[in-house]
Structure 1
Amino acid sequence: MNTDVVDVLVVGAGPTGLALACDLRRRGVSVRVIEQADHLFPGSRGKGIQARTLEVLDDLGVINAVLASGGPAPVGMVWQDGERQGEHRMFEEVAPTVSEPYAGPWLVPQWRTQEILLARLTELGGSVDFGTALTGLAQDADGVTAALSSDRPPIRARYAVAADGGRSTVRGLLGVAMTGESVDPAPMLVADVRIPTALDRLNWHFFVGADGSYLSVCPLPGTEDFQLTAQFKDGSAPDTSAAGVRSVVAARTHLTEADVSEVRWSSDFRPRAALADRFTVGRVFLAGDAAHIHSPAGGQGLNTSVQDAYNLGWKLGQVIRYGADSALLDSYESERRPVAADMLGLSTRIHRGEAKRGGATRQLGLGYRGGPLSVGGAGNLLAGDRAPDGPLPDGGTIFDALRGPHLTLLAVGTDAELPALEGDLVHVRHLDAYEPYGKGLFLIRPDGYIGWAGEDATGLGEWLAKLRK
């Protein structure tokens, strides 16, 4: 049997795998995405896209489609005994600024986010092999060999990425354990339903019973659907059938079963927080839910997962296309695992009512200060910080300049002498002093974080030497 050869094998076509595949393809890296299911995930599950992830999707070239497909989170409305009790604001209201152009969260059903990413991947010359399961995985000093289902030929890849969810087949084959805890023993029902006339779409509706029962119904922008969530008592098993979903709606709200015209998708889950003991095993990387499982509270899971892909994609590109030392890939685990651990803790605290949704959930403050790729500082920023947006003299923005697979050297309010920079690896832009940066030289990585900064170019060449042979 012939063996297909590719640079990177991505297992799983969820948001993580699709975002990574898009990033790799735009870098000219050959990628094969396999997905065990016959189609994209059909539910709305990870519907809240945070501000930092919107910046990532901007860079990946899909922000217009994402914005057109979604909307801001609606104001909550609390109901009791069929009467409106008043508004409940789940998120602090934050206006966009010049340096933070996306406020978030932006609600888009997960199935639609995946459709957008798949369309972008197709534009970039990629595709997904649906109905293809991974059945075996072996690696050696030069690459990874993956055995597939349905008598499909094996795949030989230089690297492989597990983006196959919380029950990751890849993680199991690698023997990587997950350490964590049950966030809440009470199971939850999640469903996408249609309620044509009995509820308005202006509010996120919350129904709280005298017995402590809970159900929420959130309109999903750009669709006719609502996402329903309901918590059950410990030890019970939610009925995920259409009849079961209608029954719980009738039992916990003033609506009738007939008011629910359609149940489009449903699932039950037990909120859990768990972190993989390792994110890297040889030439295989764990990303997304394969590496960390979150409570949905605070909307951190999908966002942390997509940012895993964004961190890993440019590093794989540098190693594969430009011959960077493979040690660059070691920084993936050392940078992303602490971030995932922090987000797990935050999600758990929000779920238990110990913390509120706020600035931390927007993820704009995340960074890699003190990390293996963070060197120096200048002005108001240190290496490892997120690069703020802002205006450029030509009428564009810093984010416009960053968009793409390259690095960007910003010279802000300084005429410091710059070294000769070869090829298209680094784009240089100049602007006057700008408060979010201050004055200095700032080398911005392809994932939008400052890798190196200084008042002059001392040390810049040494940092860049890590990225080429």
Structure 2
Amino acid sequence: MTTDAPVTGAPVTDVLIVGAGPTGLTLACDLARRGIGVRIIDRSAAHPRSSRAKGPNLRSLEVLASLGAAEEVLASGSLPLTMRKYRDHVPVADFDPYADPAPVPASAFDWPRLIAQWRLEEILRDRLAKDGVQVELGTELVGLDQHPEGGAAGVTAALADGRTVAARYVVGCDGAHSPVRKLLGIPFTGETQTDQVMVCGDVEIDEDALDRDIWHQWFDATGAVMLCPIPGTRDGWWFQAGPERDAAGSPQPPTEEGFRRLLTRHTGLPGAVLRRATLLSTYRVNVRMADRFRDGRVLLAGDAAHVHSIAGGMGMNTGIQDAFNLGWKLAHVLTGLAAPALLDTYEEERLPVAAWTLEFTSERLAETMAAIRLPGGGLDSATAAGEASGLSTGYRWSSLAAGAPEHGPRAGDRAPDAPCRSVATGAPARLHHLFAAPHPVLLGFGPESEPVLRAATEAYGDAVRVHRVYGPAEVPDGPAGVVDHEGRARAAYEPGANGTVVVVRPDHHLGLVAPAAEASRVREYLALLCGGAEGAASRG
């Protein structure tokens, strides 16, 4: 709905986030650390204890590291587990999806992590609280009014208890049944595959019943049971299985006793070893995507914008990466560093990624369903695919991708990471540590890049961070910058012989890779990201 003027008298928040799952919390953390006023609401009366998603992939770990949350995730989670596959109750094969990983772009992280979703959300809430923001539970959105000519408040959100919230922008991170998307009238195009049904839950199993260093997977002609230990618990497991069916073949709702029967039928274990089952649910494969991710001052992210098969573990990760793409763009618009048109690039970049994810996960599901029909088959293709790491996702088609160098990474790609050493202290550092500050970053390779770096500092101050990357044989001139002591940064970026300047966007994607002699291209690109130099330094 659109009206001419907002409700007056209430304070205006910069961004209202609807939904406090991983997507909403990531966006809230990113905005809050940039000094953006944010409120995050959720209709649940209490924080959910569901395990659901099994953890962040490599790209999401980089996002969490930028937000200052990765260390706790690593401490709370576990490395990927060997999958043990059974046929007729007997082990027939073990598969380690990361025993011989395919080469991936340079990253500080070698493996994804298993962690219960409730624990990840807890870590993100704690990170958000450090910036003074708390999730507002029991707060349900029931209406949205946009005000194109309404001054500071672009949107008035109506709550179920009769209150209203005035906000400059609203972001729906409220799941596949998103009230925000429905209020906007945005179609959610796709299909529900009613024949692909699974029952899920969190269960407690006797400690001596199964090896907790293994993800156990029983497949047979009549169905399957999969049990994966939940990190941070002594006896908690993720339970996934084909459902019980009635005489007509219709799937039955999950129950605790039904879980015990499925366990005994497919594994041979006595049902009594399963002591408790909670958070029971039925999962049907939905493959759907919103027709658009933005409607004026309201945007969609995560499951509110796209849902797909769980094969490949891409759901939560795609949402986290939606949020990281959107956060800096909202911040730049809200602080006046960029025009509102910058927000159009959110849909321009993330909608094609969502479409690819729907196709990728559907392919992985089809491969998995074919594989489990054979002895020794399992989730190999769903978990081992290199694309599932998220590191290869880029935006080369984007209007923010300026030019295509002949060699090395291209504009729009994720910026490669590499180990370095601080010039000032000699301590180990990484390029992605330099990118963690919520600002665009300039990297300068070669002495010829130094005038361009100085000019950017003079024009933009702290709104842009500049770092000279010295080669192993170069003598640093001053305390700033890093030394590429192993030559891995140069190998990753392949700078030209006469110096290269790289502009890294705040979400770690390359905006521009240009010869140092083309200083005007750097100035033009920084103006695109940060507005004119006049006043930008003070806003930074």
CA distance in 2, matches of 1:295, 1:363: 16
Secondary structure of 1:310's partner? helix
Please point out which of 116, 128, 143 is paired with 1:121: 128
Measure, in 2, the Cα distance between the counterparts of 1:380 and 1:112.
38
1:437 paired residue number: 493
**Structure 2 equivalent of residue 451 of structure 1:** 511
Secondary structure of 1:199's aligned partner: coil
* Aligned mates of 1:232, 1:242 — CA distance in 2: 12
Q: Distance in 2 between matches of 1:296 and 1:328?
A: 31
Letter in structure 1 aligned against 2:437: G
Structure 1: stretches of 5+ with no match in the other structure: none
Residue 345 and residue 101 in structure 1: after superposition, are their counterparts in 2 closer, same or farther (change >3 A)? same
Which residue of the other structure, out of 190, 199, 211, is the alignment partner of 1:189?
Answer: 199
Q: How far apart are 1:340 and its partner, in Å?
A: 0.8
Kindly provide the CA deviation profile for residues 401-423 of structure 1, in whole angstroms up to 9, marking residues without a partner as x.
Answer: 11121111001235233123322
Aligned partners of 1:14 and 1:40 also within 8 Å? no
CA distance in 2, matches of 1:192, 1:405: 37
2:317 counterpart residue number? 303
Looking at structure 2, the residues matched to 10 and 112 of structure 1 have their Cα atoms a distance apart, in angstroms, of 20
Q: Using the alignment, how far apart are the partners of 1:265 and 1:93 within structure 2? A: 35
Aligned to 2:485: none
Q: In structure 2, the residue corresponding to 1:79 is in which secondary structure?
A: strand
- Contact 2:104–2:391 under 8 Å retained in 1: no
Q: Note if contact 1:186-1:231 (Cα within 8 Å) is conserved in structure 2.
A: no
1:213: Cα distance to partner?
Answer: 0.7
Note if contact 2:243-2:253 (Cα within 8 Å) is conserved in structure 1: no
Hey, what does 1:415 align to over in structure 2?
448
Change (3 A) 1:301 1:160: same
- 8 Å Cα contact 1:187/1:236 also seen in 2: no
Deviations 1:2-31, CA, capped at 9 Å, x for gaps? 634200000000000000000000000001
TM-fit CA distance, 1:396: 1.6
1:441 counterpart letter in structure 2: V
Residue matched to 1:335 = 349
Greater Cα offset, 50-59 or 348-357? 348-357
Q: 2:526 aligns with which of 459, 464, 467?
A: 464
Taking the aligned partners of 1:393 and 1:264, their CA distance within structure 2 comes to: 49
Whether 1:77 and 2:84 are equivalent positions in the alignment is yes
1:247-269 CA-to-partner distances (Å, cap 9, x unmatched) read 32222221222101221322111
Contact kept in structure 1, 2:244 and 2:258, CA below 8 Å: no
How far apart are residue 92 of structure 1 and its match? 6.2
> What is the CA deviation profile of residues 256-306 of structure 1, one whole-angstrom value per residue up to 9, with x for unaligned ones?
221012213221110111111000001100000000001111000110100
Which residue pairs with 1:384 in the alignment?
412
Deviates further, 172-181 or 354-363: 354-363
Who is 1:367 aligned against?
394
The AA in structure 1 aligned to 2:188 is M
| Paired position in structure 2 for 1:41 | 48
Q: Alpha carbons of 1:312 and 1:92: their partners in 2 closer, same or farther (altered >3 Å)?
A: farther
Distance in 1 (CA, whole Å) between partners of 2:165 and 2:115 is 34
1:298 and 1:315 map into 2 onto residues whose CA distance is 28
Report deviation, 1:96: 8.9
State the Cα deviation string for residues 53-112 of structure 1 (Å, max 9, x = none). 110000010000000111112111112333222213455643898922212321111111
2:279 to 252, 255, 265: 265
Query: What is the identity, as a one-letter code, of the residue corresponding to 1:178?
Result: F
1:413–1:438 CA contact under 8 A, matched in 2: no
- The aligned runs of 1:14-29 (5 Å cut-off) are 14-29=21-36
Q: Which amino acid in 1 is paired with 2:507?
A: D
1:367 aligned counterpart, secondary structure: coil
Q: Partner of 2:262: helix, strand, or coil? A: helix
Task: Return the letter of the residue paired with 2:78.
Answer: G
d(CA) in 1 for partners of 2:431, 2:97: 31
Checking the alignment, whether the CA contact within 8 Å between 1:165 and 1:289 is kept in structure 2 is yes
Tell me if 1:290 matches 2:294. no
For these two proteins, the number of residue pairs brought into alignment is 467
What is the SS of the residue equivalent to 1:132? coil
Aligned-residue offset at 1:389 = 1.1
TM-score, normalisation: structure 1: 0.95
**Alignment partners' CA distance in 1, 2:492 and 2:288:** 36
Question: In structure 1, how many angstroms separate the alpha carbons of the residues matched to 2:61 and 2:302?
Answer: 17
**Structure-to-structure mapping, 1:168-317, within 5 angstroms:** 168-183=178-193, 185-195=195-205, 196-209=207-220, 211-224=221-234, 225-232=236-243, 236-317=250-331
Selected match of 2:439 from 381, 406, 410: 406
Q: Distance in 2 between matches of 1:179 and 1:326?
A: 27
> 1:114 is paired with a residue of what secondary structure?
helix
For 1:145, which of 156, 165, 172 is the aligned residue?
A: 156
Contact 1:15 1:113 in 2 (8 A): yes
CA distance in 1, matches of 2:100, 2:48: 31
| TM superposition shift of 1:307 | 0.3
**Contact kept? 1:189, 1:238, Cα under 8 Å:** no
Q: Which moved more, 1:36-45 or 1:332-341?
A: 36-45
Letter paired with 1:410: L
The answer (yes or no) to whether the contact 1:393–1:431 under 8 Å persists in 2 is no
SS at match of 1:381: coil
Partner Cα separation in structure 2 for residue 31 and residue 169 of structure 1: 19
Please say which structure displays the higher CA radius of gyration: 2
The answer to whether the 8 A contact 1:52-1:364 is kept is yes
Cα deviation per residue 1:334-379 (whole Å; 9 max; x = unaligned)?
0000011111111110011076532111111110112111102445
Change (3 A) 1:359 1:112: same
Identity rate, percent: 40
Q: 1:116 to 1:96 in 2, by over 3 A?
A: farther
Quote the Cα distance in structure 2 between the aligned partners of 1:307 and 1:251.
40
Aligned to 2:172: 162
